A = this chain, B = another copy of it.
Amino acid sequence: MSDFLPTKPYKGTRDFYPEDMHLQKWMFNTLRQSIETFGYEEYDGPMLESFELYAAKTGEEIVENQLYWFTDRGDRKLALRPEMTPTMARMVAARANELPKPIRWYSIPNLWRYERPQRGRLREHWQLNVDLLGGDPLLADYEIIQLTQKILKDLGGQGKAKTLINNRRLINYFFSEALTLDAPTALKASKAVDARAKIGEEKYQIWLDEIGITQNQSQKIENFFNATFEEIKSEYPCEGTQELIQLFALIENNENLSPFCQFDPKIMRGLDYYTGMIFEVYDQSPDNNRSMFGGGRYDNLVGLFGKESISGVGFGMGDVTLKNFCETYKLFPDFGRTLDVYVTLTEESHKTYMHKVADLLRNLPSQPLKVATALTASKFGQQLKTADKLKAKFVAIIGEDEIQKQCVSLKNLLTGDQTQVKLEDLEKVNFNL
């Protein structure tokens, strides 16, 4: 037996059988439609990129520990893309002058990270990437926040997750002005705060000690990260706070949006390239209270390619988390019977008539039906079983009688109803159940 090839996919990757594809396609097509109502256009790039594209701005941990990379036969160091933003920035930079601004782009690429597979973390996953470059940052930030909730609404999950908003400039102001930390210490402290929920209170305190945070500073951190927006406004007057005030003024003018958005000083975002507004969309269920996706404003990505900087804002949403969300709230439709008609064959000699009926059904002007024909002649009972396994809605039954009358008997597999229909009348039948 050991000579046979294994049937399992590579660790941390998935096979998508048709029933899995139904879910994936439904999610992605819902996302596409939703995002396109805001005038965004889809783009795509290659799965392999030069290694150096990620060395520049992708987090160090990813490049050191999680990047799939190798050298090709021409000795080029290549990486399987671990995120889409560098590709997007490269493509924008390549046509920086020609592309009409603002740039509204999205993509749903597959990405690779060498991780120990666990719930929600796979080696190959798909990620929706939405980016908006150019324009007034305030209006652009607002649009992206709108989009986070538009997507949830179109998935059927309105109210199930909130968009929690913060601002990097406010955080920077807090660490440098209120705590008077230097930049490297501020970065370390922010990482500790970001990791707090994951690592637990004890490890968090040890971490702060190690960085050299005093008791007094630690108390200030406590106050800041539990502050209401009113407290922030009065105690931390800075550009970041101003941006938040303006953004929430727009949000509060939109009664369909404001119930689902709120300020949260604990939102930090791991990636180093964010420079302004940041946000995370949190599942509101008590059992599942965690970040579904997030993003923020970045300034300098296009500049890495020697082009004039364009400020942008965007987010990424992984397919695994999204699928969990859709399952938790039962948002997936019932795909039910996916084949419209199965055309039977009980006698070899009926083959040509079977093909004629099937072609008629496939080419009805009113409705493009999904039609499968029998591929083996067998008894009627056997044909019915096959039709049922193939999840057909209707069976088109062909016998001597039907051929003579140039008609077909249509059996509805859900109700069991059966009617004889002349071939020229097939277009009048309603095949939608």
Contacts and interface: CB of A to CB of B under 8 A. Distances in A.
Interface of A: 1, 4-11, 13-18, 21, 24-25, 33, 36-39, 41-50, 52-53, 56, 68, 70, 72-74, 76, 78, 80, 87, 90-91, 93-95, 100, 102, 104-105, 110, 112, 114, 124, 132, 134-136, 139-140, 142-143, 146, 150, 250, 253-254, 256, 304-306, 338-339, 342, 351-352, 355, 359, 362, 368-377, 386, 389-390
A246 to B, nearest CB: 10
Contacts of A50: 5-6, 10
B56 A5 contact: yes
Given A8-B94, A70-B70, A124 B306 contact: no
24 contacts: A1-B306, A5-B50, A9-B45, A11-B74, A13-B45, A18-B42, A21-B41, A36-B370, A37-B368, A38-B362, A38-B370, A39-B370, A41-B338, A46-B124, A47-B80, A47-B110, A70-B70, A100-B386, A102-B375, A135-B376, A136-B375, A139-B351, A253-B355, A254-B352
A72 B114 contact: yes
A250 B10 contact: no
B39 A5 contact: no
A253 B72 contact: no
A250 B355 contact: yes
A362 B372 CA distance: 38
A51 to B, nearest CB: 10
A49 B253 CA distance: 51
Contacts of A13: 45-48
A408 to B, nearest CB: 17
A134 B375 contact: yes
A15 B304 contact: no
Contacts of A15: 43-46, 87, 90-91, 94
Given A41-B338, A351-B250, A373 B143 contact: yes
Nearest to A142: B355
